[in-house]
Each structure stands twice: as C-alpha cells, then as structure tokens.
Amino acid sequence: MNMIAKSKMQESDSQTVVIQPLRAGMTLIELLIVIVILSLLTAAALPILTPTTSERRIREASRALNSYISQAQAKSIGTQRPYGIALKRLSTDTDRAEDRGACVEVFMVEQPAPYAGFNENSRVRVALNVDIDPSNNVQLPVPGYESISTVLIQFVTRGSATSSGLPAGWTPDLIPSSVLRPCDEIVIAGTRYEILTPAAAPGQNGIQLLPLDSATGSVFFVGVTTPNLFTVVARPINDTGQVLKPVADQTGRIADDLVAGSGDQAGPRLNEGWLERYRQGAANVEPVGPYWSEPMEYQVLRQPTPTSAPPLQLPEGTAIDLQASGTVGDVPLHATGTNNNDQPIFLMFSPDGFVERLQFTKNCPGGGGVLGSITAASISDGLQAVCECAVTRPTANISLLIGSRENIPAEGIDFNAASYTNLSNAERAIERAKLNWLNLESRWVTIGAQTGNVVTTENAFVEPSTIPTGDYDRDGDQDGAALEIRMGQIQAAQEYVREMRRIGGR
C-alpha cells in the first residue's frame, strides 16, 4: 500500500461520529395533569353550552308544532279547501278544570263540504227573533237575547201534504243527526248566520226548546207545535243590507199585510191596516208572530272535523300554554271567567295559505264539555245557558307558547312585593321561571296573520317588576286585575314575536 492511501485511511479512522440527542417529551404525570384540567373545563362548560333536558324538550316540541302547522297550511293550499289544526284542551281527558289551560295534543282538521239540505227541494225561511204584541204593535226583546240581534231559521221542503204552521205546499224537512252544531254558519242569500244555543224561555212565540244531544254535540233544535219542524236560533255575522220580507205568520197564513219597518221600528212589523181591520172585526183571525220570509236556498258551513292524519303528541313535560297563547295583544285563549271551558280551539287556513279564522268558545257557564251544558232542569226553568262562539279573522299575528307542563296553571306571584324585589338576581330568575311566559326556555310558534309564515321565536327577557301600569286587557280601565297584569307581562315577553324573529333550526 502506498503512503498516500495509508494516510487517508488513518485520517478516516480518526474521525468521530457525533449523534444529536433526541428532544425531551411529556412525562406520564404531565399528561395526566393535562387530562384532568381538560375534564374540569369541559364539565364546567357543558351546562352553559348544552341546553337542559326541559329546554331541549321545549325546542323539540316547538319544532314539531311548527312543522305540523305548516303541513296543515300546505294541505289547505294543495286541496284548495280550508284545513287547519285543533288544540285539544287537556281537561277533556283528565276531567279537571285546572287543566283547561294546557294542550298536549293537536289534531289536523278540515272543514266538511257545505250542507245544502236533504234534497234539491230543501229550503229555509227566516224570521226576526222578537215578540210582537198585536195589541199595540210593539216589538219586545226575546229573553236571553236582549243585547244581540237574532233570527229564527226554519228548515222546510216542498211537499203536497198540508202541515200546521206552514204555508200550503211546504212540509218540515229532514235533518240528519249531528249535521248542525252551535257555531256552524248558515249562508242565506249572501248573509251569514251563526247558529246559537237558544236562550228563549219555553213557549216563546209558541216555540219549545229541545235539549242538545250531549253524545254527539249536535245542535239544540227549537221545536214548534208541528212535529219535526226544526228551527234554530242564529245571529247575522255580516251585513249585506238584506231586508227580510215576511210573507207568512206563525200559523202558516200568507200575510200580504206584513211589511218591513225602518228606523227605530226596523224589521217585520204588523201593518197598521191589518191591525186596524182586526180590531174592527174586518179581519177574522189575529196574525200570530213570528213572521216568516219566503223559503230560500241555503248552505251550512259546518265546523272543522278531524282528518285521518295522526295527531301531534307533544313531548312529555311540555304543553301549549293557552294562558298566554292567542292573537297578539288580545285576551289569551284561556282566561278565567271568559275563555274557561273544555271546548277545542280551531286555527284554520284559507286555500291561499293565509289565516282564515281563529275559532273558540267563551262565556260558557261552568265551562262544560258541551256547548252550554244545558240540562232538562234549566230548560224547564227557562234559564237557558248560552255559550258564545268567538270566530275572528285575525289582523294581528297568532302566537302559541310552548312551555313546561308543570307551570300550568300558573302560580299567582306578586312581582312588586318585597318577597320578590328583595331577592337576588339568581333567585328572581327562579321565580320568573315558574311562569311560562317569563321563562327564557319557552318558545313561541307564531303564524303571521297577513303572510301565513310560521316561525319559532324565543321568549324575550322581562323583569315584571318594571312593567308600567296600563290597560293591557282592553277593558277600559287600569285596575291592576290579574288578567291585566298577566297580559302586560305577556306582551313584554312577545318582543321577538312582533318582529317575527326566526331562531333557525334550534
């Protein structure tokens, strides 16, 4: 080996290999400390970031109700027929009056096809529901209807047999069972009449009261002396300017001498000529009221009935709080002394998708499961109880409050008392949460009266002790009544409702 190669080998052998040390990592103890810290932070943040069980159920209920209402609206548009929802009061299942303000089950309903009579010869005739004293030609109000104008509507059909109380050629018409119910509407020559439960004392104008069929809820019929000559009491709900021209009296005689009055004496009145001839003996028979129009065609717009669609059952622990629900700014759908009964509440959509009407029953003595809760005793005493059918075409939004079932009925809390004002903020929040309309977990499902839009909105924060006094119940005074205070709180909590502020998919 030459000297040069040997020198290179020695130089190579003398080189030292340097190895860089590895970077130091976490020890097991350090890793465990990090895991413990992260666990503590997560445990502290979960209650803030995750809704409580009750809030989650309320959100689920509001989403389900929003979707169910939208389905009914779409059905109405698709079929070009009125569809909607019926809110069933919980009291119909529990038979407890305190459950009238809660709804946990919602039904989809449709308006049945109009009923126009048993056959093509079916007609009705109309008379004002007043007493007329032939001795002085004065109209007297019928007991029970002093404050409203009402009519009698009688169902007849063409026939060859002569019937007592009807003009020649007319006989009583057949009325199928359960076809007519209080709150149904009858359209006659453009005028719409709402069927009422009769309040007239027995024997008024020769008319007798027949009881309501409590099993089917069919209408109270007013029976006259002729068997099966059915007559209902109704009130006009639109003004077409139509004037009833009477052509026959109660006995069936054609009365050309009967005329329509005007001014303070509006309505059918005895013609002075007929009355004078009767007094002088020229007329052999005294005319007997009421005085009937000629028979006319009609249509009965019947109340909504459930469809085959399954009802919506709200999640356990949640309910629609009827104590706060209804037309924004108006008296809620459940209020003691007015809307306090077992009857369902209907929200109907028109074929164009807008809100067609909101219908409910109010002023029922004792509530009751049947309109009026009439008994044989009340009929024999002449003290007929009357329920009022409230049918509104809302111009303001309609809001349904989804809240906790355990908060219905609401507690009576005086938010101006020291027992509340002296509490800490956290303690005040607990007290407010006892009322669904002050509970921040509650949600409003709102239907736009003008647009038909269905949105879910949050409950606005309200400090009830700072709400100014006002005539929130629209009764003409600021008396600080319980309903007035409640409505003031509700209207403050509906800040986002009036704005139709959507909260998205929550």
CA distance 498 to 492: 10
List pLDDT tens digits, range 441-488.
Answer: 999 999 998 888 999 999 999 999 999 988 888 878 877 788 899 999
* pLDDT in the model for residue 338: 74
User: Do residues 421 and 84 touch, judged by C-beta distance below 8 A?
Assistant: no
Q: Where are the beta strands (DSSP E) in 237-373?
A: 246-248, 259-261, 267-269, 292-293, 299-301, 305-306, 312-313, 318-321, 326-327, 345-349, 355-362
* pLDDT in the model for residue 206: 39
* pLDDT in the model for residue 378: 29
Instruction: Write the CB contacts of 220 (distance below 8 Å, at least 6 apart in sequence).
Output: 182, 197, 198, 209, 210, 211, 212, 232, 233, 372, 374
* pLDDT in the model for residue 214: 40
Domain edges within the chain: 54-110+304-499, 122-301
Nearest to 219 by CA among 155, 161, 277, 288: 155
CA distance 505 to 456: 9
Token pair 């309505």: residue: 267
* pLDDT in the model for residue 87: 95
User: Do residues 70 and 299 touch, judged by C-beta distance below 8 A?
Assistant: no
* pLDDT in the model for residue 203: 34
List pLDDT tens digits, range 90-142.
Answer: 999 999 989 999 999 999 999 988 999 988 999 999 987 765 554 544 455 55
* pLDDT in the model for residue 186: 92
CA distance 186 to 125: 12
Q: For the chain, list residues with pLDDT below 70.
A: 1-25, 46-52, 130-148, 161-164, 177-178, 197-228, 241-243, 251-289, 363-387, 501-506
List pLDDT tens digits, range 26-59.
Answer: 788 888 888 888 888 887 776 665 556 888 999 9
Instruction: Write the CB contacts of 69 (distance below 8 Å, at least 6 apart in sequence).
Output: 85, 347, 445, 447, 454
Q: Where are the beta strands (DSSP E) in 53-136?
A: 83-89, 102-110, 122-128, 130-133
* pLDDT in the model for residue 310: 94
* pLDDT in the model for residue 64: 97
Tokens of 179: 């076809």
* pLDDT in the model for residue 176: 75
- pTM, two decimals, is 0.71
First and final C-alpha spacing in the chain: 88
